[in-house]
Amino acid sequence: MSNRVVQGRMVTPETLAELVEGESVLEAESITDADRDCPECGGDVITVGYMPSVTEFVTGFKCQECDWSDDDR
């Protein structure tokens, strides 16, 4: 599945990566389920791999229910 609902709205992988990063990204992979629960609300967490720059690949995590997000940096 490429699009998911996050906080009541449908997002693409690129949009999800931008929510985690806080700015535009060059490229994003498909959204997948993360094997963890949100530390703030206990909701479901999804993950997306993305490239914020030409030389960096980041895995971002975002709760589907609240504002919590994180990355693997």
pLDDT, one tens digit per residue, over 3-34 is 999 999 999 999 999 999 999 999 999 999 99
| Residue with tokens 């504002």, as numbered in its chain | 67
- Mean of the per-residue pLDDT values of the chain: 94
At 2, is the pLDDT very low, low, confident or very high (cuts 50, 70, 90)?
confident
Nearest to 64 by CA among 22, 26, 19, 23: 19
Question: DSSP alpha helices (H): ranges in the chain?
Answer: 13-21
* pTM of the full structure: 0.89
At 73, is the pLDDT very low, low, confident or very high (cuts 50, 70, 90)?
confident
